[in-house]
């Protein structure tokens, strides 16, 4: 925590420094460190993104992306299941070394809705599920009778192939 009040520019520089040192970091944690409200942090992050800083807001907190964070393989997969199987689906994917970047649904009024998930490990999946449960939030797929897309990524295509085969075997994959 800073004892001296920082100007907006100083605070944003400090935020970048903290994100580069370790991420993800929640907005609440950044607000505490900077002695400002979480809303100020949200505004600062918007300004930093507008200046082309590679900051991503995820369910685990803010992440500063570096070029090495870019996966070599990426695919969008169509899945269907009820909410009780979400944890099983996500664990299956991360156990194959695949990251689940987002969830996408086609809403009848709003069109395509995308929400970042950004889970790559079992512990991140457990944290994500706990956050859903503790907030009482709904899964986006509940709006579409369980049908949803995921953008998945991995260091190589073979991991994605194996994960997709496992999704199919588990009955998650929607196919033509």
CA distance 105 to 146: 9
Q: Please give the C-alpha separations between residue 170 and each of 15, 37, 86, 117, 143, in angstroms, as whole numbers.
A: 42, 44, 12, 21, 22
Unique residue bearing structure tokens 């803010």: 62
pLDDT in tens, 21-56: 887 898 999 999 999 999 999 899 988 988 888 887
175 in any annotated domain: no
Cβ neighbours, 10 Å, residue 34: 21
Report the candidate in 69, 68, 70, 74 with the shortest Cα–Cα distance to residue 98.
74
93 in any annotated domain: yes
- 92 and 119: one domain? yes
23 in any annotated domain: yes
Q: Which helix (H) or strand (E) holds 118?
A: strand 111-119
92 in any annotated domain: yes
Q: Which residue(s) pair with 74 in the sheet? A: 153
167-174: average pLDDT: 95
**pLDDT for 2:** 42
Range of the domain at 160: 71-169
What CATH number is given to the structural domain containing 57? Answer: 1.10.10.10
120 in any annotated domain: yes
pLDDT band at 158 (very low <50, low <70, confident <90, very high): very high
Among the candidates 64, 80, 106, a domain finishes at: 64
- The number of folded domains in the chain is 2
CA angle 14, 18, 21 (to 5 degrees): 140
**pLDDT for 86:** 96
Residue 1 has pLDDT above 50, yes or no: no
**pLDDT for 76:** 94
- 39 and 123: one domain? no
What CATH number is given to the structural domain containing 153? Answer: 3.30.1340.20
Among the candidates 24, 44, 64, a domain finishes at: 64
pLDDT band at 152 (very low <50, low <70, confident <90, very high): very high
CA distance 61 to 47: 17
- 57 and 116: one domain? no
149-163: average pLDDT: 93
The structure tokens listed for 28 are 């609440």
pLDDT in tens, 123-136: 899 999 999 999 99
* Listed range (42-46, 87-91, 147-151) with the worst mean pLDDT: 42-46
Please, what sign has the CA dihedral across residues 121, 123, 124, 125?
positive
In the predicted model, what is the mean pLDDT of the chain?
Answer: 89
Unique residue bearing structure tokens 């920082």: 6
The pair phi, psi for residue 111, each rounded to 5°, is 80, -145
Among the candidates 25, 44, 64, a domain finishes at: 64
The pair phi, psi for residue 59, each rounded to 5°, is -70, -20
Residue 137 has pLDDT above 60, yes or no: yes
Asked whether 41 and 7 are in contact (CB, 8 A), the reply is no
């Amino acid at each position: 925590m800073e004892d001296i009040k920082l100007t907006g520019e100083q605070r944003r520089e400090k935020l970048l420094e903290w994100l580069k040192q370790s991420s993800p970091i929640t907005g609440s944690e950044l607000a505490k460190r900077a002695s400002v409200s979480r809303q100020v942090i949200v505004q600062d992050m918007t300004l930093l993104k507008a200046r082309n800083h590679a900051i991503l807001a995820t369910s685990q907190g803010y992440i500063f992306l570096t070029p090495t964070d870019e996966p070599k393989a990426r695919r969008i997969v169509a899945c269907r299941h009820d909410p009780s199987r979400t944890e099983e689906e996500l664990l299956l994917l991360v156990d194959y070394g695949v990251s689940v970047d987002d969830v996408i649904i086609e809403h009848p009024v709003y069109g395509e809705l995308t929400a970042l998930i950004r889970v790559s490990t079992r512990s991140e999946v457990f944290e994500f599920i706990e956050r859903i449960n503790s907030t009482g939030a709904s899964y986006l797929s509940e709006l579409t009778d369980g049908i949803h897309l995921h953008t998945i990524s991995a260091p190589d295509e073979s991991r994605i192939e194996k994960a997709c085969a496992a999704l199919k075997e588990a009955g998650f994959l929607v196919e033509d």
